């Protein structure tokens, strides 16, 4: 049986037929490759400890490079029976049982203001609220250092003003990478580089520089061996489309074809996402009452029908996403993933911007988060993975334009919340950090954000062993386990040792990895020890001290070998 016949039967099992003709054309291979195709197909259902599929975890080269199958139904029995129980992996459909691999919500950290807290405090705020993905608009050194060893994934930006230099000469891109990225990576977990921003809104000459700059940045990454770990793309506004309604009629503006075609070729070739800044708020505000507020806020009880496809839409967000997908498909780009690099709702506006209120902002962002983490997908892409960044972390008082432009933040510059929201999607909670609580001696000890990962690991292991610190609270399912980052876990252990040993400067040394603070780092049910206490803080479950500390997210090489052995035995 040929591979095409096998995949035909698999896709029939899933009720999917969209890829068959492509497969028939590209993969007319012989019978002996059937086993590899079968194993590759099943591997899309395997999720490692990072939450990534086995294919995404570095096993791609071991399988045929078929396009990812749009799985949205239970795993076939032959996969389940063969892979069940594999140590280090769990089985899950890519978009089944309320969890889609890779769907995530992050935050945009803009700094166009003169009253913002330091990057260190912004980083602490993000960690406090379990924000795991942050977009910044440049490669500011202080910001990169602030997010080091936090586990937070960063998207960094190359401003339009730098495109000329980077697009002209490869050496300029090499130098930029050497100076702006390599000194801080991997301690700072950079995963995306956005080359330019909304260039279709800028002069034509700027747009012409984007793809050459992207290619030079990619080449620089390849020279450093990072091209697979850091993806390169460019962000766009909805102005890149000439038409977005109905979604199925979505089309790119022909005036941008001169740079869009090579850009899309680059994205497809390198498996990078198409980045879009998407704002239902503007669609509502400028619609002259043609769009209802409920439809823009994910609150509509009625449906809008796409007359060409019969697809039903209950919100503007999905409609705009699908307009992008249909625009891509119209140009025969069917494998490019869409990523929303900005979306949100302002909490305050000018007198004519009546929809810019805290209540509407809270409603939009709360519903957005639930929509994304529930892996709803869109009508045209049900269950599809979707990464979204909310704009923005802080209000920015120097942004020009209407009043709303300065009021997109979830937080005021003093770090108090503009309104309550929950990044877990479980409901609104108070996001204001505790700032008025002090210990009996007024200080705590936390991990330095500039310490190296190796130094933090060594110091943490020492504290939890030789230092006799009870590290139970930072183990999985315990009160201080989240946010799951080395800096957070080390901070808890450092402080416990510090308080148990007289709260002296020496007790917060840790080889330079510890720093003192007069702000209580406690959060939620994770209460940091205070001076004079020799036990786990209240609400933190006490238990036998941990003998060692290791990041739980490390999948041993043996695990990969076991997976391969299972595939081989299954396919025989």
Q: What is the mean pLDDT of residues 206-229?
A: 96
Calculate ∠ Cα 200-203-205, nearest 5°.
100
Give the Cα separation of 232 and 142 in Å (integer).
22
CATH code for position 238: 3.20.20.80
User: Is 32 a domain residue?
Assistant: yes
How many CA atoms are closer than 13 Å to the CA of 166, on its beta-carbon side? Answer: 31
Mean pLDDT of the chain: 78
Residues 254, 131 within the same domain:
yes
Residues 118, 150 within the same domain:
yes
Domain around 497: 435-554
User: Is 420 a domain residue?
Assistant: no
User: Is 311 a domain residue?
Assistant: no
Residues 269, 150 within the same domain:
yes
Residues 114, 212 within the same domain:
yes
User: Is 527 a domain residue?
Assistant: yes
Higher-confidence position of 201 and 540: 201
Residues 166, 199 within the same domain:
yes
> Residues 6 or more apart from 86 whose CB is under 8 A from it?
46, 559, 562, 563, 566
DSSP string, 276-292: EE--HHHHHHTSTTSS-
User: Is 328 a domain residue?
Assistant: no
User: Is 213 a domain residue?
Assistant: yes
* Whether pLDDT at 552 is above 50: no
Among 200, 198, 209, which residue's Cα sits nearest to residue 162? 209
Residues 7, 22 within the same domain:
yes
Among residues 386, 406, 426, the one where a domain terminates is 406
Residues 108, 215 within the same domain:
yes
Q: What percent of the chain has pLDDT over 70?
A: 72
Long-range (24+ apart) CB contacts under 8 A made by 118-124 are 118/142, 118/146, 119/143, 119/145, 119/146, 119/147, 120/146, 120/449, 121/415, 122/146, 122/393, 122/394, 123/147, 123/150, 123/152, 123/449, 124/433, 124/521
Which two structure tokens, joined as six digits, stand for 63?
A: 């399988």
User: Is 82 a domain residue?
Assistant: yes
Q: What is the mean pLDDT of residues 2-16?
A: 42
Residues 261, 160 within the same domain:
yes
* Whether pLDDT at 563 is above 60: no
pLDDT band at 427 (very low <50, low <70, confident <90, very high): low
* pLDDT in the model for residue 130: 87
pLDDT in tens, 428-486: 444 544 444 444 457 889 998 778 888 899 899 889 988 889 899 999 888 898 888 88
Total domains, the chain: 3
Residues 192, 83 within the same domain:
no
Q: Is the pTM of this model over 0.75?
A: no
* pLDDT in the model for residue 387: 95
What amino acid positions are annotated as catalytic residues? 198, 342
**Whether the Cβ atoms of residue 118 and residue 143 lie closer than 8 Å to each other:** no
* Whether pLDDT at 61 is above 70: no
Residue 36 CA to its chain's centroid (Å): 31
pLDDT in tens, 97-124: 333 345 789 999 999 999 999 999 999 9
**Whether the Cβ atoms of residue 133 and residue 107 lie closer than 8 Å to each other:** yes
* pLDDT in the model for residue 565: 52
* Whether pLDDT at 195 is above 50: yes
pLDDT in tens, 234-260: 999 999 999 999 999 999 999 998 999
Residue 134 CA to its chain's centroid (Å): 7
Helix (H, G, I), strand (E, B) or coil at 364: helix
Residues 250, 229 within the same domain:
yes
Give the Cα separation of 135 and 137 in Å (integer).
7
pLDDT in tens, 158-186: 999 999 999 999 999 999 999 999 999 98
Residues 134, 76 within the same domain:
no
* pLDDT in the model for residue 379: 93
User: Is 128 a domain residue?
Assistant: yes
Q: What is the mean pLDDT of residues 294-299?
A: 95
Give the Cα separation of 329 and 257 in Å (integer).
15
Residues 104, 243 within the same domain:
yes
Which two structure tokens, joined as six digits, stand for 208?
A: 């012409």
């Amino acid at each position: 049986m040929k591979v095409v016949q096998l995949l035909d039967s698999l896709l029939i099992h899933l009720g999917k037929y969209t890829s068959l003709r492509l497969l028939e054309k590209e993969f007319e291979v012989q019978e002996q490759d059937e086993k590899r195709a079968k194993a590759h197909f099943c591997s899309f259902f395997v999720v490692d400890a990072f939450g990534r599929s086995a294919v995404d975890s570095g096993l791609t080269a071991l399988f045929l490079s078929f396009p990812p199958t749009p799985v949205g139904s239970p795993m076939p029995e032959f996969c389940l029976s063969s892979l069940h129980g594999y140590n280090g992996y769990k089985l899950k459909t890519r978009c089944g049982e309320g969890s889609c691999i890779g769907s995530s919500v992050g935050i945009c950290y803009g700094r166009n203001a003169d009253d913002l807290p330091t990057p260190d405090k912004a980083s602490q705020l993000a960690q406090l609220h379990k924000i795991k993905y942050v977009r910044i608009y440049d490669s500011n050194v202080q910001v990169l250092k602030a997010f080091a060893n936090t586990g937070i994934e960063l998207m960094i930006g190359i401003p339009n003003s730098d495109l000329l230099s980077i697009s002209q000469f490869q050496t300029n891109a090499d130098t930029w990478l050497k100076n702006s990225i390599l000194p801080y990576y991997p301690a700072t977990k950079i995963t995306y580089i956005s080359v330019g921003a909304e260039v279709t809104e800028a002069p034509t000459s700027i747009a012409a520089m984007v793809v050459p700059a992207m290619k030079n940045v990619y080449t620089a990454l390849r020279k450093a061996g990072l091209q697979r770990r850091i993806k390169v793309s460019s962000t766009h506004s909805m102005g890149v489309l000439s038409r977005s309604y109905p979604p199925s009629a979505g089309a790119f503006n022909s005036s941008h074809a001169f740079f869009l075609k090579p850009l899309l070729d680059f994205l497809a070739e390198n498996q990078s996402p198409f980045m879009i800044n998407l704002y239902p708020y503007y669609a509502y505000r400028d619609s002259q009452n043609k769009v209802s507020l409920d439809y823009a806020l994910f609150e509509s009880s009625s449906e809008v029908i796409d007359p060409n496809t019969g697809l039903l839409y209950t919100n503007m967000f999905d409609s705009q996403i699908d307009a992008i997908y249909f625009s891509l498909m119209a140009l025969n780009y069917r494998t490019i993933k869409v990523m929303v690099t900005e979306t949100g709702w302002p909490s305050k506006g000018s007198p004519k911007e009546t929809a810019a209120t805290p209540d509407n902002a809270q409603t939009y962002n709360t519903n957005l988060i639930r929509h994304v983490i529930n892996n709803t997908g869109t009508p045209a892409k049900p269950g599809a993975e979707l990464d979204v960044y909310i704009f923005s972390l802080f209000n920015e008082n120097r942004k020009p334009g209407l009043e709303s432009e300065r009021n997109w933040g979830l937080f005021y510059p003093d770090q108090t919340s503009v309104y309550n929201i929950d990044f877990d999607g479980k409901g609104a909670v108070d996001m204001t950090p505790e700032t008025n609580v002090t210990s009996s001696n007024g200080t705590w000890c936390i991990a330095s954000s500039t310490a190296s990962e190796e130094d933090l690991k060594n110091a943490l292991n020492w504290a939890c062993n030789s230092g006799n610190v009870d590290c139970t609270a930072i183990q999985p399912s315990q009160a201080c386990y989240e946010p799951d980052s080395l800096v957070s876990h080390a901070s808890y252990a450092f402080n416990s040792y510090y308080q148990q040993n007289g709260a002296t400067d020496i007790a917060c040394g840790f080889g330079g990895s510890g720093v003192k603070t007069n702000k209580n780092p406690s959060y939620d049910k994770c209460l940091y020890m205070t001076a004079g206490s020799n036990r786990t803080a209240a609400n933190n479950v006490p238990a036998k001290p941990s003998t060692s500390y290791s990041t739980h997210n490390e999948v041993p090489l043996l695990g990969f070998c076991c997976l391969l052995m299972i595939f081989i035995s299954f396919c025989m």
